[in-house]
Structure 1
Amino acid sequence: MKKSLLTLTTVLCMAAHLVAQVEPTAGTWKTWFIPSGKAYRLPQPASYKQEVAQVLAAQQNLDAAARQQIQFWNAGAPVYRWNDMIGKLWMTDTSTNGVLSNMLLNVATYDATIAAWDTKYAYNRPRPYVADSRIKVLGPKPDSPSYPCEVSVAAGVASTIIAHFYPHLADSVNRMAQRAMASRVAAGMAFPSDTLAGFELGRRIAEAELAHTSNYVYKKPWDGKRPAGPGIWTGKKPMFPTGGQNKTVVLTSASQFRPGPPPDFAKDMADLKAFKQTFRSKANAFYYASQFSSDDLLHKKLFEQNLHLNAPRAARIYAAVAVAYYDTFVACWDAKYAYWGIRPDQYDPTYQPLVPTPPFPGYPSGHAALSGMVGELFSYFFPADRAQFQKIARDGAESRFQAGIHFRTDNEVGLDLGRKVAGAVIQRLMADGTGEDLTIARRK
């Protein structure tokens, strides 16, 4: 009888543990730039018993700085800190490599996370705090196997990608990665061999994806040619004139959703000159002129839904948004330099915009295109907040009219373009084997 009860208790405990597991099938999800997660499965790890003493020693020697590092890396999904870092870099990058670096960091992290999950559930290595009761867990308990460490996977990807695109930061990001790895050991969440294996897996996949996308950015210099005639933007130093010739990820080509040519802007100009500014309209114009990135909003929504605790789901969302940013940029710049649409202050030299006019054609609006993409894609992931995202899309687009640097036609066309790109990304997501539609339905 006692033996039967013991067996039943063991089965129930195992069942409860399986229910708590974080995405045990994520290793089969469709990847972006590698063949599959299984293609990068790591070899079976050696026994962890010799490493228990190392984890205990790390915990016994904790000082204030080490505790601060544990707290720092406990926050958010594994890519959270790195996404924040690349966001500050690419948004101020004056080359088209910037948007590619952001896309690659997030996509490679997702692909490497899927590969990590394939390995995790192939071997089911216990976490240190599970393997030995003397080990404390200093933070939220990750309900997934220990090998390889997912935070170290993200560190391997990020340090490789950032060092590639911003070599002056190579030493800094490598030290940052080492601190991330050490923090997981000290937190009782990973054995040293888990962190080393994770870092190496992330590095290998990042290097493979850098090679895969080596021809994505159009490398030939601009030939200096531009159309002539009325309605043509005539700025002296056009920014990103070949950006629309970059290779896309989800779109079949940069011109897949290219809008028709712009109209004569006489009516748009009259609307703009008749517009009466208010405190609110100026505030909206300055707000979106000074910052556009929706990264903070995305982080917030992931925290609100506790998706930061689900590494594969979080990585998937970050990757999809980064791909959409990239393809929207390329599609928008394709249209800009297909038509060289004039800006308001060139159409009517007597008109004074509220903010400086950007150094590239106006049609369609880049802010509006990215706003339309955010409104549509974020609504897919977080449908209960659709009204909020749609308002953000409208406000972001309208801000450019309020700033006096875009016609309303620029914005309307840009919004439509961004929504179409988001739609293409969503179609790709719906076929990636994650069961996301069911997950989203539960969050409504």
Structure 2
Amino acid sequence: MIRLTRARRAAGATLLIGAVLVLVGAADALSSTLAERVEPGAGAWRTWVLSSGSQFRLPPPPDAGATRTEVERLREMATVRDAETLDRIGWWDAAAPSYRWNQIAVDESLKAGLNANVASRRLALLHTALADAMIAAWDSKYAHNRPRPAGADPTLQTAIATPPSPSYPDEHAVAGAVAAAVLGEVFPQRAAEFARLAEEAGRTRLLAGVAFPSDVAAGAELGRQVAAAALERGRRDRSDQPWTGGVPTGPGLWTGTPIVPQAATWTPWLLASPAEFRPPPPSAHDSPERAAEMAELRAFQRTPRTNADALFWEAAVGGRRNFEYWNGHLGRLLLEHGQAANAPRVARAYALLNAAFYDAGVACWDAKYTYWSIRPSQLDPEFRTVFPTISHPSFPSAHACYSTASATVLGHLFPRDAAALAALSREAGESRIWAGIHYRSDVTGGQQLAERVAGRAIERARADGAERAAP
């Protein structure tokens, strides 16, 4: 009896130890799952237009019975996955929604031949709306914590990996509704195509088996609410106001047909006003300082290499492509740093970059059309430039403004790459001297102005709640 009791005790101890190990393993698995959740605190990040991430918090998702019905619908949809469907699923799932919608918006801007002022205004409007949309989506996701379809029914076969975030609402549907509304307003002739793409983005999540139909429907409704708030702000930014001024005349003043002079009055995202960081006036046209700068331009020894580099920064990534260039760097960096699938963080990065880019342009145009500084080839008609001078005043350099603001913000978001990005922005500024279309003070003035604009974006980034949980 004693031996039997001891045997039972030994067996019981073995079972107890085994149970403890199982529980420990389960706890480890749970801890791992919790650690892998995507940005559970993102719903509390600072918003751009909304009062908070909870402003449009969704009601609870459908109950267990309705969820089972939805699982069966997803199972039926999975039977029609063909090669083309899988290709579209993969295209939308390659990165977070803001990445793909940035590509779509940039392509539309290039096709329309938009200059940096107009394109950046549209991109900033889109990406601040998408950032708010992801914050709002994450607020509802973690308020309700609805499991993904494969979590509700592990036998469901998905076409892609199940995202490590709650299912409701679907972030691609949220982003699609925002992008379709914003892009449809600024490119009205393409509104139907944007609506088609938004619908496709949501439908691919159903076909992939990673979202419920009610997730997509709720996401689209949330996206429409965010878009309405964003568009209301956009309609008040003065971008629809015509320019009513005139080109001043007098010694040392720029002359010509100004490019988008009204951009100097548009409402910034980060600055209190276009003039908040207005630099002091440049040197007078007949001053010793200006004579020395003109002498520097005349003395510069142009080579095929410097001419090619100047043309690269003008034609390949210049005023009608610079927004593509710096957004392209952001997309690359998100992929290289393993952040491309993190929807709230990707949306935040695009919003910070494009808001700073746009504000740098507004501040730059404010200074240009305050001082009307004469261009080198106007001050000395005998001086030859590498290519024709752009039709707006000389001070400050727009290339220096846009490139420095972009590189500085990206350098903050990706410190490992900050030095390389800063070198690119410096080359962009120097290229204007190599081309002979700017004075040295135009470039340094633009860089200093842009650093202050970028500094405002970085201040916001440090205080928006995201850097407390940075990956």
> Normalised by the shorter chain, which TM-score bucket?
over 0.9
SS state of the match for residue 280, structure 2?
A: coil
Post-superposition offset of 1:284: 1.4
State which of 293, 313, 317 in structure 2 corresponds to 1:268: 293
Aligned-residue offset at 1:304: 0.6
Counterpart check, 1:40 vs 2:93 = no
Q: TM-score, normalised by structure 1?
A: 0.94
C-alpha displacement of 1:12: 3.2
Native 8 Å contact 1:307 1:314 kept in 2: yes
1:89 matches 2:108? yes
1:245 maps to what in 2?
265
Confirm or deny that 1:341 pairs with 2:373. yes
Structure 1 distance, partners of 2:159, 2:300, is: 57
1:5 deviates by 5.3
Deviation at 1:130, TM superposition (A): 2.3
Contact 2:174 2:221 in 1 (8 A): yes
Which of the numbers 5, 28, 31 marks the counterpart of 1:15? 31
Give the CA deviation at 1:228: 2.4
Q: Secondary structure at the match of 1:39?
A: coil
Q: Separation in 2 of the partners of 1:346 and 1:89?
A: 35
Q: What SS class does the counterpart of residue 463 from structure 2 fall into?
A: coil
Counting only pairs closer than 5 Å after superposition, residues 110-259 of structure 1 correspond to structure 2 as 110-235=131-256, 237-259=257-279
Cα shift at 1:110: 0.6
Q: Which residue of 2 aligns with 1:319?
A: 351
Partner residue of 1:55 out of 71, 74, 95: 74
Distance in 2, matches of 1:42 and 1:422, equals 35
Between the aligned partners of 1:120 and 1:182, the Cα distance in structure 2 is 19
Rg (Cα) greater in structure: 2
Q: Relative to structure 1, is the Cα distance of residues 381 and 16 closer, same or farther in structure 2, using a 3 angstrom cutoff?
A: same
Aligned 1:242-391 pairs, distance under 5 A: 242-263=262-283, 264=285, 265-290=290-315, 291=317, 292=322, 293-391=325-423
CA spacing shift, 1:434–1:188, aligned 2, 3 Å: same
CA contact (8 A) 1:90 1:99 kept: no
* Pairing partner for 1:427 from 450, 456, 459: 459
Query: What displacement does 1:229 show?
Result: 1.8
Q: Which amino acid aligns with 2:385?
A: P
Partner of 2:89: 70
Residue by residue over 1:60-85, the C-alpha shift from the partner in whole angstroms, topping out at 9 and shown as x without a partner, is: 10122211101111112211111112
Deviates further, 176-185 or 400-409: 400-409
Provide the rounded CA distance (Å) in 1 between the counterparts of 2:184 and 2:122.
10
Conserved in 2, the CA contact under 8 Å of 1:73 and 1:180? yes
Counterpart CA distance in 2 for 1:95 and 1:417 is: 17
Conserved? CA contact 1:96–1:217, under 8 Å: no
Q: Distance in 1 between matches of 2:440 and 2:107?
A: 29
State the one-letter code of the partner of 2:224: R
What is the SS of the residue equivalent to 2:340?
helix
| Contact preservation (8 Å) 1:97, 1:165 | no
Whole-Å separation in 1 of the counterparts to 2:115 and 2:32: 52
Write out per-residue CA displacement over residues 350-400 of structure 1, whole angstroms, 9 at most, x where no aligned residue: 222212221211210111101111221111111111110110110111112
The normalised TM-score by structure 2 is: 0.89
**SS state of the match for residue 232, structure 2?**
helix
Q: 1:415 aligns with which of 447, 455, 459?
A: 447
Give the residue type in structure 2 aligned to 1:254. Answer: P
Aligned sequence identity (%): 39
* Structure 1 Cα separation of the partners of residues 161 and 406 of structure 2: 30
**1:369 alignment partner, SS class:** helix
Do the aligned residues in 2 keep the contact of 1:135 with 1:188 (CA within 8 Å)?
Answer: yes
Q: Deviations over 1:155-201 (max 9, x none)?
A: 11111100000100101111111111111111121112111211221
Contact preservation (8 Å) 2:278, 2:363: yes
Compute the displacement of 1:23 (Å). 0.8
> Which residue matches 2:3?
none
Contact 1:76–1:308 at 8 Å: present in 2 too?
yes
Within 1, Cα distance between the matches of 2:56 and 2:228? Answer: 13
Task: Tell me, yes or no, if the aligned pair for 1:74 and 1:140 is still in contact at 8 Å.
Answer: no
Which amino acid letter does the alignment assign opposite residue 244 of structure 1? Answer: A
Q: 2:120 — aligned with what?
A: 99
Q: How many residues align?
A: 438
The corresponding residue for 1:400 is 432
Q: Which runs of 5+ in 1 are unaligned?
A: none
